[in-house]
Amino acid sequence: MNYRHAFHAGNFADVFKHIILARMIEYMKTKDKAFRLYDTHAGLGMYNLASEEAQKTEEAQAGVGAVLAGNPPKEVTRLIGPWLDAVRDAGEGKYPGSPAVAKYLMRKIDRLTLYELHEEDHAVLAKNFADDYQTRVLHLDGWLAVGAHTPPKEGRGMMLIDPPFEDGKDFDRMIIALEKARKKWMGGTMALWYPIKKREHTDDWLETLKGLKYSDILNVELYIREPRAIGMLNGCGMVIVNPPYTLRDELNLIMPWLAETMMAEKGWGYRIQDLSAR
């Protein structure tokens, strides 16, 4: 396990992922009943953008930095507002990872379960959530948790699956995890983040997902440059199974602005696709 998220915190991929996560949490909150959020690959929870790791890559500047310096249209400001509040309230030089965004937006009745396998990162995460009655921090393999810990006793909720994609096998693991989770928790919302280097590769994987013939599955992608070359993170995507019914319209408003704000080179853009069985 070599991947350390501290090098990448607040980059374009984090901004994309966390804005969507926040929209999904906001939707969950429109119903009175409590929900649970599983974050199977949680990271540190909170990041220091002045750290040696973050300073080495300076990825946050073109990510969260560009958002903070931007001037989005009114509708986008409203939609990204909850996530931006979490970023601003984290304080100058800090960037909230998915656990911290979730914790910031959740109500007192909602619950958060975090998995982090890296020993040092788990220790930091556990410290960040020490004495938090809403949150369980587990030093466990997030892939195993997908089947073992679902469905949540709250009945409703969602799962963010955000692995490091270190060994090329995480695309396959995602499909296995999804199928496993669906057997136990058909109604759960699952959000799967993935990297885009060469588009042909991810398009093949999306075809496999389409072949599962789920009734409600949405894909959204962001490219900061033409997704052609292997070896570079040119974009990223999120597949959402059982998405909030409001999400597609929200993404139609958010994505044009987000793609333009995150763009690095020509060939940038976005795509929103329905992968549901017809």
Query: Any contact of residue 41 with ligand SAM (CB under 6 A)?
Result: yes
Query: Any contact of residue 118 with ligand SAM (CB under 6 A)?
Result: yes
Name every residue whose Cβ is closer than 8 Å to that of residue 167 and which is 6 or more positions away in sequence.
Answer: none
The nearer residue to ligand SAM, 75 or 89, going by C-beta atoms, is 89
Residue 159 DSSP SS3: strand
Residue 236 DSSP SS3: strand
Query: Any contact of residue 115 with ligand SAM (CB under 6 A)?
Result: yes
Query: Any contact of residue 164 with ligand SAM (CB under 6 A)?
Result: yes
**Cβ of residue 98: shortest distance to ligand SAM, in angstroms?**
3
**Cβ of residue 260: shortest distance to ligand SAM, in angstroms?**
23
Upper half-sphere CA count for residue 168 (Cβ side, 13 Å):
3
What positions carry a catalytic annotation?
162
List phi, psi (to 5°) of 270: -155, 165
**Cβ of residue 1: shortest distance to ligand SAM, in angstroms?**
6
The stretch among 72-80, 136-144, 221-229, 263-271 that binds ligand SAM (CB under 6 A) is: 136-144
The nearer residue to ligand SAM, 110 or 116, going by C-beta atoms, is 116
Q: CA–CA separation, 157 vs 178, rounded Å?
A: 15
b (16+ CB within 10 A) / e for 30-41:
eeeebbbbbbbb
Cβ proximity of 30 and 131 under 8 Å: no
**Cβ of residue 32: shortest distance to ligand SAM, in angstroms?**
28
The stretch among 35-43, 76-84, 222-230, 250-258 that binds ligand SAM (CB under 6 A) is: 35-43
Q: Classify burial at 150, counting beta carbons within 10 Å of its beta carbon; exposed 0-12, middle 13-18, buried 19 or more.
A: buried
Using CB under 6 A as the binding rule, the residues of this chain from 138 to 157 that contact ligand SAM are 141-143
Query: Any contact of residue 113 with ligand SAM (CB under 6 A)?
Result: no
**Cβ of residue 25: shortest distance to ligand SAM, in angstroms?**
13
User: Taking the CA atoms of the chain, what radius of gyration do you get in angstroms?
Assistant: 17
Residue number of the CB closest to ligand SAM reads 97
Among the listed residues 10, 97, 235, 269, the single contact to ligand SAM using CB under 6 A:
97
Q: CA–CA separation, 54 vs 276, rounded Å?
A: 38
| Amino acid letter, 18 | H
Cβ proximity of 75 and 256 under 8 Å: no
Q: CA–CA separation, 26 vs 244, rounded Å?
A: 10
Residue 136 DSSP SS3: strand
Query: Any contact of residue 117 with ligand SAM (CB under 6 A)?
Result: yes
Query: Any contact of residue 83 with ligand SAM (CB under 6 A)?
Result: no
Using CB under 6 A as the binding rule, the residues of this chain from 3 to 22 that contact ligand SAM are 3, 5, 14, 17
Query: Any contact of residue 42 with ligand SAM (CB under 6 A)?
Result: yes
- Give residues in contact with ligand SAM (CB under 6 A): 1, 3, 5, 14, 17, 39, 41-43, 97-98, 115-118, 121, 141-143, 162-164
